[in-house]
Amino acid sequence: MSSEHAPVSHFIRNIVEADLASGKHKSIVTRFPPEPNGYLHVGHAKSICLNFGLAQDYAGRCNLRFDDTNPEKESEEYANSIQEDVRWLGFQWAGEVRWASDYFEALYGYAVELIEKGLAYVCELTPEETREYRGSLNAPGRNSPYRERGVAENRDLFARMRAGEFPDGSRVLRAKIDMASPNINLRDPVIYRIRRAHHIRTGDAWCIYPMYDYTHCISDALEGITHSLCTLEFEDHRPLYDWVLDNISIGCHPQQIEFSRLELQYAVTSKRKLLQLVNEKRVSGWDDPRMPTIQGMRRRGYTPEGIREFARRIGISKSDNVVDMSVLEGCIREDLETRAPRVMAVIQPVKVVLSNFEPGVTSSREAGFHPNHPEFGSREVPISREIWIEADDFAENPPPGWQRLVPGGEVRLRYSYVIRCDEVVKDGDGNIVELRCSLDPNTLGKNPEGRKVKGVIHWLSAEHALPAEIRLYDRLFTVPEPDADKDVDFHQYLNPASLTVVNGWVEAAVRDAAPETRYQFERLGYFCADRREHQPGEKLVFNRAVTLKDSWAKEQG
């Protein structure tokens, strides 16, 4: 967990502490077990922080294990990105990366043991018949006609399944539990199916693959996991988890504990829906900065420390964990406030000509990169006859309380002189193309005599500023729960204003910034040099990570 803040107590932490205090466990072992079938998202970040954080806090260990039992949907690309995400968030797994496929031979052996105990059988019902026999929430299931096959026949058929004698889908191995159980997961669940699919690790060595519920508990036990933490949808699967481990010869029985998954407002976190957004080109890819993926958040400029603090702040419980996006943005904003150097940029430029600028006489000043961090250093803020200011900082007909530039009015340039607007130049269509201003030469670093100037605006010397592509990101969806209504296509809630690209100007001080360098652009927000397209010294591309204030709450209020 984030070292900057004390851990927050929650029910899982209480269980861990009680188990250590009673001597039930000498140390804890957790695991993070993603399937390599997509990129990780903010919900996985919560789980990563929980599993790795507990291991860190109690001097235990946490394994990274890929659940690679579904070969058609899995890829090396996803597996590599997941490892990168875990490291980027600030965690390191114990030992080598583990894979469920490492245990395929052992899993097969335990399945044979269940057959020999009369607790598993080969079933030839079609998938449709299996569903029909399973019953419903209100009606018990019926026994398969193959349920009473003898041990020798089941063992022989299972070996022939493995040897590839039968076509895909023609037979499965089922656990023999209770077709009348009120828990549908215990109605003779399938534990192996025939599937000729090339596997990213084992190639074509297997044509039968174990099911997740069967694989997961045994993998946990083989690794000596003490606390197997998963989200609430697996609560009804826990009796099956325990049944498998109780009925095989394995010397370890981890405790499965469920907690509520994270639902982030103004986002979707279904892998299927995220994949749809990517495939339909609604976003530029898994790492589009509007996506709630860890790669997307990283590219946008979010910090690992901010995300870890978010996970700490939202907590762990069994009750619904629906969190507004502003909580995540607040954590990022607070973290960047302390660590991001401050520079000036102009994103909607209006040209200002300083009529009384005198080369060699009109001076520049040094400015620090952060008011609370002198160790960040400083740079010169040069001035020239032509400067850029933000279009929003000038108004011909200002609203009440306006403290920026108006015709005939004065304003201070940040780190520089007080200027007065003397003339507004427009084109034939009435658009402002230039402001002609004069500076007060006696106001560099001091207040003007005999009058007060309240407003301070940011600006750049046109001669020294560098052009930059600036990407202004907003929420991807316009409603808090875009996929809440199953009858409505969530695409219709996509925010058409979620990305605005502008050509602006930045201080020369950022010329050589490496990709992923973060800055506060004063008065505009926190920005990050794009990790894909920003080229130091050549093509400057900055993504807005988050605004300076929570403007969204204000607009919605």
> Catalytic residue numbers?
35, 261, 271
DSSP assignment of 492-525:
GGB-TTSEEEEEEEE-GGGTTPPTT-EEEETTTE
Rounded Cα gap, residues 258 and 261, in angstroms: 9
Task: Scan for tokens 């405790």, then name that residue.
Answer: 255
- The secondary structure element, H or E, covering residue 207 is none
Longest distance between any two alpha carbons in the chain, whole Å? 104
Which strands make up the sheet holding 208-210, listed edge to edge?
120-123, 172-175, 190-194, 208-210
Residue 138 sits at the vertex; the CA angle it makes with 135 and 141, to the nearest 5 degrees, is 25
Nearest to 461 by CA among 341, 537, 357, 342: 357
Start-to-end C-alpha separation, the chain: 34
CA distances for 260 relative to 10, 232, 264, 314, angstroms: 12, 5, 12, 11
Q: How far apart are CA 127 and CA 133, in angstroms?
A: 10
DSSP code of residue 483 = T
Give the distance, in angstroms, between the CA of residue 212 and the centroid of all CA atoms in the same chain.
24
Q: In one letter, which amino acid is 403?
A: Q
Q: How far is the C-alpha of 203 from the C-alpha of 196, rounded, in Å?
A: 10
Q: What's the CA gap between 77 and 141, in Å, rounded?
A: 41
Q: Which of 124, 184, 186, 121 is nearest to 147 (CA)?
A: 121
Q: Residue 409, Cα to own-chain centre: how many angstroms?
A: 46
Judged on CB neighbours under 10 Å (0-12, 13-18, 19+), 79 is buried
Give the H/E segment covering residue 294. helix 294-300
Judged by DSSP in three states, 186 sits in helix
Cβ contacts of 516-520, under 8 Å, gap ≥ 24: 516/298, 516/301, 518/301, 518/303, 518/336, 518/339, 518/340, 518/545, 519/340, 519/341, 519/342, 519/343, 520/336, 520/337, 520/340, 520/341, 520/342, 520/343, 520/548
Q: How many angstroms separate the CA atoms of 507 and 465, rounded? A: 5
**Token digits for 454?**
């309240």
Crossing angle of helices 11-22/42-57, nearest 10°? 30
Helical spans, DSSP H, in 121-252: 127-134, 151-163, 212-222, 238-246
Phi and psi torsions of 301, nearest 5°: 120, 5
Q: Which one-letter amino acid corresponds to residue 259?
A: F
